[in-house]
Homo-oligomer: A and B are copies of this chain.
């Protein structure tokens, strides 16, 4: 789809202050100098999820030490919509795909949920953290979604704030189309729960049906795979309730 800019964009955990060098870890440093072949003075972009986006430049401190010097803030920090994805882990590459797309589509929190029919073993949230950092760097996002450790299905529901609607895709036949449900949504926070390939078990289904904050929705007449349902449902929420109706450059112009 064409990047906004070909200047490399990097997530760091340090505070960003004009003129202050930020020492990169070895892996990031190597990537910029060995893979990207950047030299001292090369322009880079950095963000940390708190201080907006900065234009800066690379500084080779020694053969193994590479810093970024932040020169100027170019975008203000903006909050990602208050959207949480709860999903039953799939096989490794498909779990990575789901997490990457959740980051691109602007969720704030990602919560793996182990259901009765979840085939995958437990996920390593540290590995998924690396996936979301890379996705955030490439998608012009200003922050990184959190990736929680996996919890059981029933625990995830017990922990859920009942004031916030939790949408789940139900193929049983009597749920309303998601767009119609969202058109009447009063809340600007939400959760989306995507079940495993084998569907929820009868006990899980019964639990979902018994909770007032859980809202069943449908995603059309065809059966979507889990990863497609994630992208489709996040798209509808962002488009209807989230930040897709605000254009960032217009918004930034208006606020400056």
Contact yes or no, B231 A235, CB < 8 A: yes
> Size range of the interface on A?
35 or more
Query: Nearest Cβ distance between residue A75 and chain B, in whole angstroms?
Result: 11
Q: Is A180 an interface residue when CB atoms closer than 8 A count as contact? A: yes
Q: In residues 58-99 of chain A, which contact B (Cβ within 8 Å)?
A: 78
Known: A1-B226, A104-B228. A221 touches B247 (CB 8 A): yes
Q: Is A220 an interface residue when CB atoms closer than 8 A count as contact? A: yes
Q: Is A178 an interface residue when CB atoms closer than 8 A count as contact? A: yes
Q: Is A116 an interface residue when CB atoms closer than 8 A count as contact? A: no
A250 vs B249: C-alpha distance when bound (angstroms): 44
Interface string of A212-256 (1 = CB under 8 A from B): 000000111111111011011001101110111111111100000
Q: Which chain B residue shows the least CB distance to A251? A: B221
Contact yes or no, A219 B199, CB < 8 A: no
Q: Is A177 an interface residue when CB atoms closer than 8 A count as contact? A: yes
Q: Footprint of B on A, CB under 8 Å? A: 1-4, 78, 101, 104-106, 138-141, 169, 171, 173, 177-180, 194-195, 197-200, 218-226, 228-229, 231-232, 235-236, 238-240, 242-251
Contact yes or no, B171 A224, CB < 8 A: no
Besides the contacts A2-B171, A2-B198, A221-B248, what 12 more A-B pairs have beta carbons closer than 8 Å?
A1-B199, A1-B223, A2-B223, A3-B223, A104-B222, A105-B222, A106-B222, A138-B223, A220-B239, A221-B246, A235-B236, A236-B239
Known: A197-B1, A199-B2. A239 touches B178 (CB 8 A): yes
Contact yes or no, B104 A239, CB < 8 A: no
Contact yes or no, B139 A173, CB < 8 A: no
Contact of A228 among B2, B101, B243, B248 (CB under 8 A): B101
